[in-house]
Amino acid sequence: MTISHAAQRRERILSAAVQQRLLDADDAPLAGFVDLDGVTDSVAALQNAFPPSVSVQHAFAAKANPLVPLLQELRRLGMGCEVASAGELAQALAAGFAPEQIVFDSPLKTRAELLQALELGVAVNADNFQELARIDTILATRSSPSRIGIRINPQVGAGSIALSSTATATSKFGIALEDNGNVDRLLRAYREHPWLTWLHAHVGSQGCPLDLIAQGIAKTVAFADKVNAELGRRQIVGIDIGGGLPVDFDSDDSAPGFDTYVARLRDHAPGLFTGDYRIITEFGHSLLSKNGFTTAYVEYTKTAGERPIAITHAGAHVATRTVFQPDSWPLRVTAHHPTGATKTGPLRAQDIAGPLCFAGDMIARARPLPELSPGDIVAVLDTGAYCFSAPYHFNGMLEPAVYGARTVADGSIAFQLLRSAETMDHLLSRSGTDVMN
């Protein structure tokens, strides 16, 4: 059986981590890894997919993985940063992003958050008419260098995962373009606010086909053209097209690639590539997911109903979406010897269970794998996004360390700590001991 280049790289990273005791059965039975070489390749693929004839700022969606050292790495690779909360804004600033490299999207921005963003010069996309009125009030008493736009909902429909679809008829995000009277209200808003110069839309992510995403962007470009034509001036100068490229959870294949996505955009929204509009993208999931994996030791094995069960240190606390929505967010699992080497041999359907105290804490069910034993290691793949950023603290579980890994000149693996393992002192502090008398 041919082993993919990605699988070989994972095995080398895992074996090196065991040798360096970053992963240890007693002291560190759970750890996360980000392949920084893979991240570099993914960013380059995104940057190269768009033609040089258009002005594009690629802003990494911090929600996917906001670890500050990783954000620093992405900044060095030429990325901007899209944030969706005051916390993510703080993380982006700590990573060294200049305010003009940051885009602030959120359906709930407080007045204090808007004041901070506008004073710094962070780009802001207003989610609704009430937020737009709040921005207008702020700008009545001060100037701001921020690029300001409105998020619209093009209402093109849902993909196969409703919870990841953001351009449905009733989505909570943006101003619904087809709702009665909204086009006229939007036109009036642009006419009355010369500082309103951008337009933003995001159709969805996992489960949304490329044609659906491209159709949503096409409606957004058409509306930008309409605004400029109605106003008789080039009011809208830029379009934020969001992200949303889906991820293949079934293999190491990175398809559909960014080049395929751009080709669909050209088919549906050729006006995006005329040079009339600057472009912002907000990819996260598709840049990071396949470049990260989570590793955990098998502590015990047993059988129930004749099915083998491996009790591991990886569960809902590190793969929350997968445990609670396994059909929408499946993750591949590979089996390894205690050395990190890939296990081979006859496959047997096994449950990969986590440590949390509820029956549904399962990473995988009836997954065909070489039979696991205590002391073996499982690697949960494609966890570079929406896993390290979404800890689930049930049962007082500690957040594991996360390491960046890259191949150096002599061919060995060098590690960079991206997040320290949480300690019991941290756990007790967030549990309220810091406020006790």
Average pLDDT over residues 338-357: 97
Q: What integer pLDDT is reported at residue 3 of this predicted model?
A: 74
Tens of pLDDT along 362-393? 999 999 999 999 999 999 999 999 999 888 99
Distance CA 9, CA 427 (A): 34
Q: Are 100 and 121 in contact (CB under 8 A)?
A: yes
| pLDDT band, very low/low/confident/very high, at 170 (cuts 50, 70, 90) | confident
Q: What integer pLDDT is reported at residue 157 of this predicted model?
A: 77
What is this structure's pTM? 0.95
DSSP string across 114-155: HHHHHHHT-EEEE-SHHHHHHHHHHHTS------EEEEEE--
Q: Pull the structure tokens for residue 437.
A: 């008398």
- 411 exposure class (CB count in 10 Å sphere: 0-12, 13-18, 19+): exposed
Average pLDDT over residues 81-102: 98
Tens of pLDDT along 329-340? 999 999 999 999
Q: Pull the structure tokens for residue 409.
A: 């000149």
| pLDDT band, very low/low/confident/very high, at 2 (cuts 50, 70, 90) | low
Q: What integer pLDDT is reported at residue 169 of this predicted model?
A: 81
Which residue has better confidence, 156 or 179?
Answer: 179
Q: Are 385 and 285 in contact (CB under 8 A)?
A: yes
Average pLDDT over residues 68-97: 98
What CATH class does 38-286 carry? alpha beta
Average pLDDT over residues 291-312: 97
Kindly tell me if the per-residue pLDDT of 234 is higher than 90. Answer: yes
Q: What integer pLDDT is reported at residue 159 of this predicted model?
A: 82
Angle between helices 210-231 and 258-268 (to 10 degrees): 50
Tell which CATH architecture fits domain 5-35+289-433: Beta Barrel (2.40)
Give every CB contact of residue 61 below 8 A, 6+ residues apart in sequence: 82, 84, 243, 282, 283, 284, 285
Query: Max CA-CA distance within the chain?
Result: 73
| pLDDT band, very low/low/confident/very high, at 354 (cuts 50, 70, 90) | very high
DSSP H helices, 140-203, are 182-192
Domain boundaries defined on the chain: 5-35+289-433, 38-286
Q: What are phi and psi of 300, to 5 degrees?
A: -140, 160
Neighbours of 144 (CB within 10 A): 19
Tens of pLDDT along 131-144? 999 999 999 999 99
For residues 297, 299, 304, 308, the Cα torsion angle rounded to the nearest 10 degrees is: 40
- Where residue 10 falls (left for φ over 0; alpha for ψ -120 to 50; beta otherwise) is alpha
Q: What is the Cα 73 distance to its own chain's centre?
A: 15
Neighbours of 342 (CB within 10 A): 18
Tens of pLDDT along 32-42? 999 999 999 99
Bridge partners, residue 280, by sequence:
57, 240
Q: What integer pLDDT is reported at residue 156 of this predicted model?
A: 84
Distance CA 68, CA 391 (A): 16
Kindly tell me if the per-residue pLDDT of 244 is higher than 90. Answer: no
Long-range contacts of 82-90 (CB under 8 A, 24+ apart): 82/280, 82/282, 82/284, 86/110, 86/113, 86/116, 88/62, 88/63, 89/113, 89/116, 89/117, 89/122
Identify the CA nearest to 312 among candidates 374, 370, 395.
374
Pairing of strands 102-105, 401-407: unpaired
First to last CA, the chain: 62
Average pLDDT over residues 100-110: 97
Distance CA 224, CA 36 (A): 37
**Amino acid identity, position 97:** F
Q: What integer pLDDT is reported at residue 1 of this predicted model?
A: 52
C-alpha neighbours within 13 Å on the C-beta side of residue 366:
2
Distance CA 436, CA 256 (A): 53
Average pLDDT over residues 274-279: 96
Distance CA 381, CA 369 (A): 14
Tens of pLDDT along 194-212? 999 999 999 888 788 889 9
Q: What integer pLDDT is reported at residue 207 of this predicted model?
A: 80
Identify the DSSP state of 31: E
- 275 exposure class (CB count in 10 Å sphere: 0-12, 13-18, 19+): exposed
Kindly state the helix (H) or strand (E) to which residue 287 belongs, with its residue range. Answer: helix 285-288
C-alpha neighbours within 13 Å on the C-beta side of residue 212:
22
Cis omega before residue 51 (within 30°)?
no
Give every CB contact of residue 350 below 8 A, 6+ residues apart in sequence: 307, 308, 309, 310, 366, 367, 368, 369, 371, 372
Kindly tell me if the per-residue pLDDT of 280 is higher than 80. Answer: yes
Q: What is the Cα 383 distance to its own chain's centre?
A: 10
Distance CA 199, CA 228 (A): 12
Distance CA 403, CA 70 (A): 10
